[in-house]
Structure 1
């Protein structure tokens, strides 16, 4: 419950809120007393009221007819001006539409130019990057090609040296024994103390001359 209820219950004073203004009522209008008319005055007044009503109706019909004629005339003039293109409202609306269209076209043109500039920048950057990559790939491929041929030449030289060494080793070997070329190895006619496969002619002659001298 509110504190005001507790105060009232305990005998406290009630808080006064917003003071209420007194309501003013308009004074009552008393109806005007009826006028006592004779029959002649009544008929005359009735005729006057009817005449005013007929006149008001005639004026209303005339004003309505004039208003309709004015509307028809304005419609014909508007139609003719629209067909000729000289209507002020049409020209104003056309100018407003052209201004709005011009602003919109300017905005679209600016957006288009910005977009095309962005696309051109991206294309140039992509082209430059591709050219750089192509040059890098070309340099890399050229280096690999040169390295390959260097390795190939080195391998060829190495094999030539190996072949030369093998040929030299083969050339330094003594010839093998053959029945048609020389005598077999370690025959009885071989000089004592000699361990070669063959003997030279001078040595053979010396060996042959030694036994003759002994005889």
Structure 2
């Protein structure tokens, strides 16, 4: 499995994401925001957390216009896998790869702490290492993680089993407590919590390991 981890000006979780993939046995290549193409053989593109371009204009909006954004869109269009975490989730909504938008948290507070998540579906390459209904503890660190979508869009996500994770209990005002969503073909996942920060017991927990192990197990040799 070859994973390409993108770095934008202001990214701060790109190294954590690279380490999480490498521990799962993946080959990782690093890309800069000005790169215009992915390396041959890339299976998955990972868009990390942080504050791309300082979150100016709107979180993820400038990143969605960067040179590498065209390569991410093309990869997704041909059925490649894409993972966006925190700011990466915001970027994927700005790219139009996932529906909805991430707004300021309820209470206008920055949240930085472990959060309880419930696995809403195990029917994806990202969540297959978990059981539906399983409870996880995964760190969050965001100010604009309040996921919003119109009623018809929410109904579509729920009817198509595309809600990947929910907060349990609610923490930031997200509609239906949504913490992560899948694309229609289930090959793109965006989530606000940071599974890459939950792969080492010395960091307080390992509930994120199963995601990276599931991806590597499914894509190594694919």
TM-score by length of 1: 0.15
Larger Rg over CA atoms: 1
Question: Which one has more relative contact order, counting CA pairs under 8 Å at least 6 apart?
Answer: 2
Specify which structure has the higher proportion of helix: 1
Specify which structure has the higher proportion of strand: 2
